[in-house]
Amino acid sequence: MKLFFIVFLNGLTLASLYFITACGFTLIFGLMRTVNMAHGVLLLLGAYIGYEVVEMTGFWVLGIIAGGLSCALVGAFLQAFILGRYQGDELRQTLITIAISIILADFLLWAWGGLTYQISLPEMLQGGIRLPLLNVGYSVVRLTLIGMAIVVGVLLWLLIAKTKLGIIIRAGVDDREMLQALGFEIKKIFIIVFAMGAALAGMAGVIFGSALSISPGTDIQFLLSSLVVVIVGGMGSVGGAALGALLIGLAEQYGLAYAPTYGVVFTFLIMVTVLAFRPQGILGRAEQ
Amino acid sequence: MPLTDGSASNQRVALNLKGVTRRFGSFVAVDNLNMTIKTGERRAILGSNGAGKTTLFNLITGDFPLSEGSIEIEGVESSTLPTHKRIQAGLRRTYQHALLFDSLSVRDTLLLAVVGIHNKWPLFYPLKKNSKYHEKAEALAKVAGLSSKMDVLVGALSHGQKRQLEIGIALSGDPKIVLFDEPAAGLSPAERPVLTELLLSLPKKLSVILIEHDMDIALETSNIVSVMHNGKHLLEGEPEEVVHSDIVREIYVGKRQ
Amino acid sequence: MMPDQLLKIDKLNVYHGSSHTLQDIDINISNRPKAILGRNGMGKTTLCSALMGLTKAASGSVFLDQTDISSYSPESRAKTGIGYVPQGRRIFRSLTVIEHLKLVEKKDSRWSIEKIFSIFPRLAERRKNMGDRLSGGEQQMLAISRALMLDPKIMIMDEPTEGLAPTIVDDVVELLHSLAEHEIGLLLVEQNISVALEVASDILIMLNGRIVDQVTAEELKSNTQMQQKYLGINFA
Amino acid sequence: MSRTLLLIVVILIILPAFISDFWLNQILTRSIILGIAALSLTFLTTYLGVVSFAQITLAGVAGYTIAYFSPNTTGLGIELPWLFAVALALLFSTLAGAFVGAIAKKSVGIYSIMITLAISMAFFYFTRQNYSIFNGWTGFSGITAPVAFGVSLEDSLVFYYATLLSATAAGYLVVKFTSSPLGLAVQGVKDAARRVRAIGIPTTPVIIAAYAFSGFIAGMSGVLNVWQQERISSFSVGLGPTIDLLIIAVIGGMRHPLGAFIGAITYVLIDTFVIDLFSRDRFNMIIGLVLLFIVMAAPQGILGSFLSAQKRIRKYDNNAIKRKIKNDCEI
Amino acid sequence: LSQPILAADKIKIGVISILEGAFASLGQDGVRGAELAFKEAGGKVAGMDVEIIVMSSDASPDSAVNAARKLIDHDNVDIIIGPLSGSEGIALRDLSKGNKGVTFVNGSSAAQDATFREGSDNFFRFGGDGAQWMAGVGTYAFEELGYKKVAVVAEDYSFPYTQVLGFMSEYCAAGGRVPKKFWTPIGTKDYSSVVYSIPDDVDAIFVALGGADAVNFLTQYDQAGGDKPIIGGTITIDQSILDSKGPFKKLLIGAPAGTPTVSDYEGKEWKEFTASYLSNFPEGMTSPTIFAHHYYMAGKAVLLGLEQVDGDLSNQHKALRASLNNLEFVTPTGGTMRLDENRNGIIDNFVTEVYEREDGSLGNRVLKLVSNVNQTMGQDPTAFRAIGAVSRENPSCP
Ligand SMILES: Nc1ncnc2c1ncn2[C@@H]1O[C@H](COP(=O)(O)OP(=O)(O)OP(=O)(O)O)[C@@H](O)[C@H]1O
Ligand SMILES: Nc1ncnc2c1ncn2[C@@H]1O[C@H](COP(=O)(O)OP(=O)(O)OP(=O)(O)O)[C@@H](O)[C@H]1O
Ligand SMILES: [Mg+2]
Ligand SMILES: [Mg+2]
């Protein structure tokens, strides 16, 4: 029984991490309909840069900012010069981002090698504390993740639902031409959105690299988990992504604890089941 | 000029709507609506924008499920039948927003419409060049005024041409009840008399429900008029009578007519 | 005062593949509202969309208020002062009514959300509805409002009364009349002849991608032969 | 187009006389096999409007069936006469296709990518974790192509012709299918599913039929693939091959069956030789750049760019039509 | 016709290693090892030039086979060195059966079955399998360290199965018990639920995880307040992990493990080998990894074999094969490498311990040398064979 609760907590903290890593993806994917297959590699890039900055300066927060900023730049570049002109051509964008992720991943391998990296946490987040009721040690940083996820989620939701930028973005997804005909410079707006999504990815990468670790191949895992989370939850819905993350996080941890052999299979079967009955995801809006 | 005498009470019933209701969240788009369409009847439905007319059509065809009430088509309880079964039972419709196959040619679209109606299950093998289906498709194109556009992709048709194609599809096979959702919208003045002609020339045994904001067409082609307002069936009656009633003047017709 | 030449179209040509959809279009629009009439598929929508920059013109130029906007992007054209009400409405399906209006709300515009709501009370009632959950007529009102809120110098309206109930057509006609009071130019594509004749002072006739004639509304009203020739109709 | 097609087929028939075994086996035959799999994807994408990531899974179902029911060195499975094994393989892949269709029937566009991706990942992890049927991580090896009607398919030339014949059959089937009323209905579902129902055709069976058909085509490729590779494992149905297939389909072009094969040969050439031509440590970067270049430079895929230019001229040759309109309008 | 065709004045050797994805840096080190052997020989053997053609696989058997086919059919190589990982090894062994004109020398792939069952007479392994690499550890853990019960955390595929077999066959025989085994899918990021499921009453944890998986598990175990000692699988304490960046490393200090490759080995031969490696590959690791070590031995065996037969590859490499079967040479760790009747290496294995070097980096040092480890780990071959093929359940001693 104790294990059951611990696993629940594990699922919750993992879900927070998944949510944080999926946020940039929801933003780009949910709002611009760009299937950004380079999301994982952007996370990885942010994490490596964050690592360097933390090693250099010793400030963790600075690492997060640096990871975010560098990815924002890369993202803006990609959208402005490569992806932008194919807006609306989903399949081609998918392919282009796959190509970009192959190139970038190889670049990262070149620059940082194939070793595993962990980013040092600030003193106060290191190590574990004893949980009062369950009487087990628990990692501080994992507990903090829950808080971070909530903050990120609320900010993102406000951005999408409440700001004018949010309205513009949603309109742009529905009918780009019409939005142009209303005087909006859609290209610029999409560059900003992509940069924001990439920045979120970069920052999430630093957090991920601190809580767990990063190495080549992590990018694919990021990408898959983000895809699953966003799709199960419903594209463009922040609440949905949170719900999706929770479902997948819990499934994964319970799977690992109680049925390790087929645990991963279950994760994907959950996704299949959700989508078979709600193709638009749990909280997504139907296409027609 | 009424086509049949709407008052004859011993006529067969083509469509019977009882307590039909549809809610979207808390909003009631169609509200406890009762209506009986007799075989051969030509009914126009008038009503302001958002009155619930298109929603009513969507309920009849099964595009949307009912919230409450029942629908009988040709005496058969059809409230829960899937759309294609209702179509196979003789129901047809046009969509207000042309809903067409942009990547098929006009010919293929009409072929599909013809084949779809004639077979329970679309054929797996290709059709012969001059099959009976091709003839029927040609005939439909002629009715819709699209004979010259047979090999054009539907996506490249102009707005009005798409509306014409909608009508062609709705007349495929051997329809018993046809629902026209604003067929004249987007048609040029030159096309409108043609449409009127077409509506008037439909077989007598066919039942028609017509949503139309072009009053000339609506009044000329119908023998009974229903008025919808805020989802309710406000009143029905002889065309002239209804149009000149004060309430209809106020909520629908306005002063310019 | 409105300039004499608000919109000037000079030898505009548009192709779809190899078909020559618009052929040497010349139009001048001043303070007198103009309407284009023509049968289905003659190129009216193509013209509107080319003016907006959404369809590429092969040759020809467009001036708005003396500025050559031929090379402008759609967004620059909108900013320069064209309000566009497209055929088929093109409402954003995932925005609510109020979000549509907020999207284009401007501080110093003559058109506020309140003003729009007073013109179309139906929109106020449905303010929280998503774009794709509006009736056809409601969408049409919203499309007009959306363009108006940009405070344009000229409105290009592609069949704005399509699908509207007669009472609401009355409202729209009134609104179109008032455009002139606000010194807003108007290029109107209409299939509803009576609306066109009532609103526009000049009528352009389009046939197979050409402007084949220009007459005053008065002339066309009285000349049944002309009606027969260009529109294929008889006014009873 | 048909004359070009004939020319291509003739060239392909006489080509083995001029090339080495390696080119025959590892480049041509492999490309054609991949091309058949890609064809099952381009079919779904072009006509049903869904991007299916499950095609490798469907091919895998056929492949595993062959492995399980043929002699192999894994010590798992039951030996059946090869014709039975092939029939079972195609049956299973068709059924699996129908099953995927039944699950994904409501999903279009991006959503279809995701649900099929989820299905394929579930299958991948299942094969990796299960040892009793799929022999887990390692899979089956030592499978050999059978002796069919007196000739050994192990002979690379024979196998090449068998592959070529299968590809031609697959292409023919796709063309026939798409021009049949069912095929038109499939395209109708892509454009407006609601309208398909409103002309009296139920959409679910149409969607399932399209997926099942694609399963059959993918199954053909799956069978040939096991015979060529002489092995199959969880890696054969993983994310890598799945994405490769998408790359093949897109760079080749989706509009015409031939595109899948052009994409496949392009991909195989890049995959095989880039490491020789460029620095071996950075060859992935080169592959990425080449892919990026093709996708950006040829919007409709390599074949598509060529075809669409042709098609546009043919389809939209409105001059004749316009003359007619003129006649209709002139009073 | 039976004349040896010596006209070719060039020997072509293909090297297959993993140069993409998560294993890329390990694979690159493997290639370095092979290249080192040829560089040391001056790029010539038996008076002929050696041409090396490198192909990449992606850890999948399919890609290894494709790479090998390209090397054989297109590049016409005579010898293939590789591959890196277990399942790839089995795939190439199968491929070798149909390509008798090519000699396959295994790289670092360590699946038991590649040679133990269904071996192929032109597939050689100058090195051990994953079980051999654990020789000595089970006994050491039970007898020297006094661990009576150990839990196992290992990745869920063939190589870790083999490692666990190697550890358990000794450990259980000595009297130790393994009450619980956790097989986690490769690439698992979050082990926290495994961490909390480890029974409280075990004395230590045997961890057979590689790369990032090891790093993640150890970090999370520490954060959860775990304090059981660790016993490492071969790749868990590989230099590539010890060189990884991050705070998890302190957990490994003092962990015993089994490996044929010890980065800080004090032996003379190893020092020479390391010096040669470092001078030839300044961009390489701080010392050769197990992959460089094994690809090097493969390269060396090939060169020695060719030299012995004077480059005679006639008659499907008959002479070369015979010479390889009887080859003996001194390995970089100072032992003598020779093959058993299954063409599998009889090796020297080390029980090691992770320690902190003076500069703060981590290394391995030798606790014990176990010589002459054969594939049945010194047990009676028939009895060993009777254990059956390794799997999640086999062996078992709860
Ligand atoms: N899916 C939906 N969700 C919520 N509300 C809807 C939905 N569909 C329609 N409505 C609302 O129901 C009402 C009736 O819509 P309907 O389309 O039936 O009107 P209509 O009578 O056809 O109007 P028009 O003449 O303008 O086409 C409208 O106010 C519309 O906003
Ligand atoms: N994308 C396109 N590709 C090819 N041809 C097109 C395309 N769009 C329009 N056309 C053709 O151009 C001609 C003009 O179309 P347009 O939409 O401008 O007509 P319209 O006058 O607005 O007609 P309607 O009154 O029916 O709206 C039509 O014959 C149409 O088939
Ligand atoms: Mg309506
Ligand atoms: Mg138009």
Distance CA E90, CA E84 (A): 11
**Residues of D in Cβ contact (< 8 Å) with B57:** none
Q: Are A216 and E22 in contact (CB under 8 A)?
A: yes
- And the tokens for A237? 């819905």
Measured in Å, residue B160 CA sits from the centre of ligand 2 at 9
10-residue mean pLDDT profile of chain E (398 residues): values are 53 92 84 95 90 90 90 93 91 91 95 88 95 95 95 92 93 94 88 90 94 88 87 87 76 91 89 95 88 96 94 91 95 93 94 90 90 89 84 88
Q: Are residues D63 and D157 in the same domain?
A: yes
Q: What one-letter code names the amino acid at E257?
A: A
Length of chain B: 257
Q: Are residues D311 and D293 in the same domain?
A: no
The answer to whether C and A touch (≥3 CB pairs < 8 Å) is yes
Q: Residue D286 belongs to a domain with what CATH number?
A: 1.10.3470
Q: Are residues D310 and D216 in the same domain?
A: no
Nearest C-alpha in D relative to E65: D229
Which ligand sits nearest to residue C137's alpha carbon? Answer: 1
**B72: helix, strand or coil:** strand
ipTM, two decimals: 0.86
Rounded mean pLDDT, C103-127: 88
Q: What is the reported pLDDT for E23?
A: 80
Residue that the structure tokens 């299968």 belong to:
D166
Question: Does residue A208 surpass a pLDDT of 60?
Answer: yes
Interface test with B, best of C89, C129, C135 (most B CBs within 10 A): C135
> What does the angle CA B142 – CA B147 – CA B150 come to, to the nearest 5 degrees?
130
Q: Are residues D213 and D315 in the same domain?
A: no
Q: Do D114 and A231 touch (CB under 8 A)?
A: yes
Q: What is the reported pLDDT for D315?
A: 41
Distance CA D115, CA D59 (A): 17
**Residues of D in Cβ contact (< 8 Å) with C18:** 312-313, 316-319
Residues 6+ apart with CB under 8 A from B229: B47, B48, B51, B251
Interface test with C, best of B27, B46, B49 (most C CBs within 10 A): B49
Strands, E, within E121-169: which ranges?
123-124, 150-155
Q: Are residues D310 and D292 in the same domain?
A: no
Strands, E, within A108-221: which ranges?
128-130, 137-139
**Residues of E in Cβ contact (< 8 Å) with D138:** 61, 87, 90, 158
Determine how many CB atoms are found less than 10 A away from the CB of residue C33.
Answer: 23
The ligand 1 atom at the shortest distance from the C-alpha of residue B96 is 27
Ranges of chain B whose pLDDT falls below 70: 1-10, 119-126, 255-257
Chain D residues interacting with chain C (CB cutoff of 8 angstroms):
312-313, 315-319, 321-322, 325-326, 329, 331
Strands across the sheet containing C7-16: C19-29, C7-16, C59-64, C67-68
The number of C-alpha atoms within 13 Å of B147 and in the hemisphere containing its C-beta is: 10
Pairing of strands C67-68, C59-64: antiparallel
Neighbours of chain C (3+ CB pairs under 8 A): A, B, D
Distance CA D111, CA E10 (A): 56
Q: Which of B83, B101, B123 sits opposite D180 (nearest CB)?
A: B123
Domain containing D320: what range?
Answer: 304-331
**Residues of E in Cβ contact (< 8 Å) with A264:** 185
User: Is the Cβ of B161 closer than 8 Å to some Cβ of chain C?
Assistant: yes
Measured in Å, residue B50 CA sits from the centre of ligand 1 at 5
Distance CA C82, CA C75 (A): 10
Q: How far is CA D98 from CA A130, B234, D122, in A?
A: 52, 49, 17
Whether the CB of B58 sits within 6 Å of ligand 1: no
Distance CA C77, CA C58 (A): 18
Q: What one-letter code names the amino acid at B197?
A: E
- And the tokens for E133? 């690499």
Nearest C-alpha in D relative to A35: D110
Q: What one-letter code names the amino acid at D312?
A: R
Q: Do E185 and A264 touch (CB under 8 A)?
A: yes
Whether the CB of B158 sits within 6 Å of ligand 2: yes
Q: Which helix (H) or strand (E) holds B244?
A: helix B239-244
Distance CA C22, CA D108 (A): 36
User: Is the Cβ of D173 closer than 8 Å to some Cβ of chain B?
Assistant: no
Q: Are residues D183 and D308 in the same domain?
A: no
Radius of gyration (C-alpha) of chain D in whole angstroms? 21
The number of C-alpha atoms within 13 Å of A269 and in the hemisphere containing its C-beta is: 11
Would residue C155 be called left, alpha or beta, if left means φ above 0 and alpha means ψ between -120 and 50 degrees?
beta
Q: How far is CA C129 from CA C89, D27, D201, in A?
A: 16, 57, 32
Query: Which residue minimizes the CA distance to atom 1 of ligand 2?
Result: B156
Q: How far is CA D196 from CA B148, B178, D48, D186, in A?
A: 24, 16, 13, 9
Q: Are D231 and E61 in contact (CB under 8 A)?
A: yes
Measured in Å, residue C96 CA sits from the centre of ligand 3 at 19
Measured in Å, residue D305 CA sits from the centre of ligand 2 at 25
> What does the angle CA D288 – CA E77 – CA D12 come to, to the nearest 5 degrees?
65
Question: Which residues lie across from D140 on neighbouring strands?
Answer: D232
Q: Are residues D219 and D318 in the same domain?
A: no
In this prediction the pTM is 0.88
Provide the H-helix boundaries in A36-81.
39-57, 60-78
Residues 6+ apart with CB under 8 A from E135: E166, E170, E258, E349, E370, E373, E377, E378
Q: What is the reported pLDDT for D328?
A: 34
Q: How far is CA C19 from CA C25, C38, D325, E387, in A?
A: 15, 18, 13, 79
Distance CA C196, CA D12 (A): 64
Q: Which of D235, D240, D284 sits opposite E61 (nearest CB)?
A: D235
Q: Are residues D160 and D173 in the same domain?
A: yes
Q: Do A260 and E156 touch (CB under 8 A)?
A: yes
Q: Are residues D177 and D308 in the same domain?
A: no
Question: Nearest 5°: phi and psi at D33?
Answer: -65, -45
Interface test with C, best of A182, A186, A187 (most C CBs within 10 A): A182
User: Is the Cβ of C174 closer than 8 Å to some Cβ of chain B?
Assistant: no
**Residues of E in Cβ contact (< 8 Å) with D281:** 19, 28
First CA to last CA distance, chain A: 45
Nearest C-alpha in B relative to D200: B84
The answer to whether B and C touch (≥3 CB pairs < 8 Å) is yes
Q: Do E70 and D272 touch (CB under 8 A)?
A: yes
Q: Are C93 and C131 in contact (CB under 8 A)?
A: yes
- And the tokens for B118? 């004639």
Residue among C115, C123, C21, C25 nearest C70 (CA): C25
Question: Nearest 5°: phi and psi at C128?
Answer: -95, 0
Q: Which helix (H) or strand (E) holds B93?
A: strand B91-93
Q: Are residues D27 and D86 in the same domain?
A: yes
Residue D88 C-alpha, separation from nearest chain A C-alpha, in angstroms? 25
Q: Do C18 and D331 touch (CB under 8 A)?
A: no
Q: Are B17 and B32 in contact (CB under 8 A)?
A: no
In chain D, how many domains are there?
2
Distance CA A67, CA A207 (A): 10
Whether the CB of C93 sits within 6 Å of ligand 1: no
Q: Which helix (H) or strand (E) holds C191?
A: none
Q: Do C17 and D312 touch (CB under 8 A)?
A: yes
Q: Are residues D276 and D320 in the same domain?
A: no
Q: Do D199 and B117 touch (CB under 8 A)?
A: yes
Q: What is the reported pLDDT for E189?
A: 85
- And the tokens for A54? 């933390």
All structural domains of chain B, each given as residue ranges with its CATH number in brackets, are: 1-90+174-257 (3.40.50.300), 100-173 (no CATH)
Distance CA D70, CA D75 (A): 11
Q: Do A272 and D115 touch (CB under 8 A)?
A: yes
Q: Do E63 and D235 touch (CB under 8 A)?
A: yes
Measured in Å, residue C22 CA sits from the centre of ligand 2 at 10
Provide the H-helix boundaries in E152-248.
158-174, 192-197, 211-223, 239-242
Residues 6+ apart with CB under 8 A from E387: E165, E169, E394, E395
Residues 83-102 in D contacting E (C-alpha not used; CB under 8 Å): none
Distance CA D227, CA D216 (A): 17
**Residues of E in Cβ contact (< 8 Å) with A108:** none
Q: What is the reported pLDDT for D322?
A: 38
Neighbours of chain B (3+ CB pairs under 8 A): C, D
Pairing of strands B207-211, E48-57: unpaired
Q: Are residues D315 and D208 in the same domain?
A: no
- And the tokens for A280? 């638009």
Q: What is the reported pLDDT for B119?
A: 66
Q: Do D318 and C208 touch (CB under 8 A)?
A: no
Residue among A39, A195, A60 nearest A126 (CA): A60
Radius of gyration (C-alpha) of chain B in whole angstroms? 18
Whether the CB of C42 sits within 6 Å of ligand 2: yes
Q: Do A107 and D285 touch (CB under 8 A)?
A: yes
Q: Do D142 and E94 touch (CB under 8 A)?
A: yes
Ranges of chain D whose pLDDT falls below 70: 1, 279-281, 299, 304-331
Strands, E, within C69-166: which ranges?
82-85, 154-158
Residues 6+ apart with CB under 8 A from A217: E21, E22, E187, E212
Pairing of strands E204-208, E230-232: parallel
Distance CA A199, CA D301 (A): 32
